[in-house]
């Protein structure tokens, strides 16, 4: 089968298409024929080994599992003997997790992988635009006990996490303020944002307004300034914080009432089924910037590295 392998950490050009052996599912595994995947900021950080600790966990010179990619949207082609929760022919979407392997024609995952049946009202490409941003956003919003009437500001609202966070927080009845560039103002309104701040024209940390939740999805806001915009007992959610910011935030949280939340997300099958229900109701929509074939994954990574994508960059299998 065709697969993209990372020869060493670094530039997009270190990704190569190779012919590799098609995986065979073990007794407790599911073999998925992939129709679409995605290239996220997380995939790009993994490729660059940023932060450095990635090398210590996944392999020093290159990842021990060289086929990257975690977002899966495809059809189950084979199942192991002990698999009873899925059947051959099921259309699924979700995450391969730390198994990676999604940037290939096939991937084999455990029967308990974070998957759900693909909603019938969306394409495989649209399905691949959901898992990364939705699972991360849901993880942090749940910690903040998101609820009706809360004032929520989402910084970096036009990215993969941001576009999902706007919709998910709106689903809970929160009052949403989205921060984005001029080009994405109308997109934010279409996704349900109540207020939109164009960061090229206004600094949200200087407008004097307070929010119950400030959700930085891209790791570019000032911790000190963002805290000033947070109400007492509010939550500052840092989805893309570096290790230094995580440590600093944890220490600062000890001395203040405001809560600073960062760390590794937890993906669950329950959440994937929740997203499926929202999609079927039309309450959660995919946002796709560009779609590339697997053969052009170098170009896809290079585009993601620019840091200006709108929603998701999708990899579509031929």
pLDDT averaged per 10 residues, the chain (length 318):
97 97 96 98 95 92 95 98 96 95 98 97 98 97 95 96 98 97 96 96 92 92 85 90 66 72 90 98 97 98 95 94
Q: How many residues does the chain have?
A: 318
Q: Where along the chain do the CATH 3.90.180.10 domains lie?
A: 2-130+286-316
Question: Which CATH superfamily does the domain covering 2-130+286-316 fall into?
Answer: Medium-chain alcohol dehydrogenases, catalytic domain (3.90.180.10)
pLDDT score of 252: 67
Q: What is the pLDDT of residue 153?
A: 97
Q: How far apart are CA 86 and CA 33, in angstroms?
A: 14
What is the structure's pLDDT at 220? Answer: 79
> What CATH topology corresponds to 132-261?
Rossmann fold (3.40.50)
- Residue intervals of the chain classified under CATH 3.40.50.720 are 132-261
pLDDT at position 249: 64
From the number of C-beta atoms within 10 Å of its C-beta (0-12, 13-18, 19+), residue 265 rates as middle
What is the C-alpha to C-alpha distance for residues 209 and 94, in angstroms, rounded to an integer?
37
pLDDT score of 73 = 98
């Amino acid at each position: 089968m065709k697969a993209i392998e990372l020869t060493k950490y670094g530039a997009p050009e270190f990704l190569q298409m190779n012919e590799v052996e098609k995986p065979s599912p073990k007794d407790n595994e599911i073999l998925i024929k992939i129709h679409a995947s995605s290239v996220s900021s997380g995939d790009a950080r993994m490729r660059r080994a940023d932060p450095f600790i990635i090398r210590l966990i996944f392999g020093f010179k290159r990842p021990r599992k060289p086929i990257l990619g975690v977002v899966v949207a495809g059809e189950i082609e084979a199942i192991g003997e002990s698999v009873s929760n899925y059947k051959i022919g099921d259309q699924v979407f979700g995450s391969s997790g730390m198994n990676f392997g999604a940037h290939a024609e096939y991937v084999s995952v455990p029967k308990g992988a974070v998957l759900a049946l693909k909603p019938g009202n969306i394409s495989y490409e649209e399905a691949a635009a959901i898992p990364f941003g939705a699972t991360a956003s849901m993880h942090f919003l749940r910690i903040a006990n998101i609820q009706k009437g809360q004032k929520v500001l989402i910084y970096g609202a036009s990215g993969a996490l941001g576009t999902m966070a706007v919709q998910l927080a709106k689903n809970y009845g929160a009052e949403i303020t989205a921060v984005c560039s001029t080009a994405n103002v109308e997109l934010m309104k279409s996704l349900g944002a109540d207020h939109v701040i164009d960061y090229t024209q206004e600094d949200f940390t200087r407008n004097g307004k307070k929010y119950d939740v400030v959700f930085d999805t891209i790791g570019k806001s000032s911790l000190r300034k963002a805290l000033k915009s947070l109400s007492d007992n509010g939550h500052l959610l840092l989805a893309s914080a570096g290790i230094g910011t995580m440590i600093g935030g944890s220490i600062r949280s000890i001395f203040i009432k405001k809560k600073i939340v960062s760390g590794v997300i937890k993906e669950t099958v329950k959440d994937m089924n929740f997203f499926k229900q929202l999609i079927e109701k039309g309450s959660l929509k995919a946002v796709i910037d560009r779609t590339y074939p697997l053969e052009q994954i170098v170009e896809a990574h290079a585009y993601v590295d620019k840091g200006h994508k709108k929603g998701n960059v999708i990899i579509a299998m031929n």
